[in-house]
A and B are shown apart, each in its own frame.
Chain A
Amino acid sequence: MELTTFWVYFNARPLFWIVITLGAYLLASVLNRKAGGTALLHPVLVAMLMIILLLTLSGTDYDTYFEGAQFIHFLLGPATVALAVPLYDHRARIRRMLLPLLVVCLSGSLTAVVTTVLIGQLFGASDTLLLSMAPKSVTSPIAIGISEQIGGFPSLSAGLSLTTGVMGCLLAPLVFRVLKVRSHTSSGFALGLAAHGFGTAYAMQRSTLAGAFAGLAMGMTGIFSSVLIPLISQLFGLN
């Protein structure tokens, strides 16, 4: 058997891309730990780049990759549902802060969309790009839905939402130090709001309390945004 046919045979097997995805993530995690846990080398970002490089070099298209990777992608659904558990564990504190949390979340979700669209317009972004960027602070499964609804590119929105997540984790330590945001509840909530799942994963490393508030912020932002973003994009005359 020739090497090329061997590769094609291998390629078609979804299992191969699951192994590659998990392997790349583990390797990226090891690299990240060696580099002292810096968010610049976020394991997800590094794993993504490694896989993109591999796909490009081997001439594999994204659809073939996704045939295997969809099994990992699928778990995002139950994982989002599972965030109810840390929420339940910290329910007493959440109930005490419910009103300020709602106010902060509403103003934060609004700020995230409006600033993105305004800055994008300032730089001369096309309407489709603006619409794809608008749900950038929303967790990717929700961002995909919103983008589809308002006429952006859903998969571009998913990617930009991930990029935003990495940026949030990068900026957070600096922002919190400068503004003296010390409590785990406030920092977690801000992380979940601005950087959704990445922020939640990052906050979870700090404490389950920060993680629970991040998960709460992520869910609330997702719900608010699915209502707010279509309205705001209309207001800006984008669709």
Chain B
Amino acid sequence: MVQGFLILLICQLMGEWLMVWFGWPIPGPVAGMLLLLIGLMCYGRVPDGLRLPAEGLVRYLSLLFVPAGVGLMLFAETLAQQWLTILASLLLSTLITLSLTGWLLQAWETRQYKHKE
């Protein structure tokens, strides 16, 4: 458990350092995720000590967004004035993006499946 948590933190730290080193705009945690993935592929399996904290964190991922979300209160004025603009942009764009990606990938999968038969 402690071991696994340490692995996660070290990957994040190395990701952070590497991105600063290279001057790339990719955030440290995402770079850390890639590093851990490469590490797991080299190692060949997920160590037991890592699986426990990793799955726990992923399961409660949504809880971790609460503190940042409360920060919306700082923009009460902007939100009150421009709520229609914000709502329309976010909602329509999300609808279009979700439809396009879901449909595209499903179409590809269905074609692959038929191809095999």
Contact = CB atoms under 8 A, between A and B. Distances in A.
A191 B88 CA distance: 19
Interface in B17-45: 25-30, 32-37, 40-41
Interface string A63-86: 001100110110111111111111
A112 B102 CA distance: 13
B40 A44 contact: no
B70 A62 contact: yes
A175 B70 contact: no
Contact of B94 (A72, A168, A189): A168
B106 A181 contact: yes
Interface of A is mostly: helix
A118 to B, nearest CB: 9
Contact of A66 (B57, B58, B67, B96): B67
Chain B interface category by residue count = 35 or more
A137 B91 CA distance: 11
Question: Which of B27, B46, B54, B57 is packed against the most chain A CB atoms within 10 Å?
Answer: B27
A24 B67 CA distance: 11
Given A48-B70, A70-B67, A108 B40 contact: no
B89 A119 contact: yes
B80 interface: no
Interface residues of A, number: 109
B63 A44 contact: yes
Interface string B51-66: 1011101111111111
A142 B27 contact: yes
A91 B25 contact: no
A79 B57 contact: yes
Contact of B105 (A43, A136, A189, A226): A189
7 contacts: A82-B57, A86-B58, A120-B89, A159-B71, A160-B86, A193-B97, A204-B58
Interface of B: 5, 8-9, 11-12, 15, 25-30, 32-37, 40-41, 46, 50-51, 53-55, 57-75, 78, 82, 84-86, 88-106, 108-109
Interface of A: 21-22, 24-25, 42-45, 47-48, 51-52, 55-56, 62, 65-66, 69-70, 72-73, 75-89, 91, 97, 100-101, 103-105, 107-108, 111-112, 115-116, 119-120, 123-125, 129, 133, 136-137, 140-142, 144-146, 149, 153, 155-156, 158-160, 162-165, 167-168, 171-172, 175-176, 179-183, 185-187, 189-191, 193-195, 197-198, 200-201, 204, 211, 215, 217, 219, 222-223, 226-227, 230
* Top 3 A-B residue pairs of the complex, sorted by shortest distance between their CB atoms: A69-B67, A159-B72, A190-B102
Given A66-B67, A163-B72, 17 more contacts: A43-B63, A44-B63, A48-B70, A66-B71, A72-B63, A77-B29, A77-B32, A78-B29, A81-B11, A87-B37, A125-B82, A137-B97, A155-B68, A163-B86, A164-B94, A223-B26, A223-B30
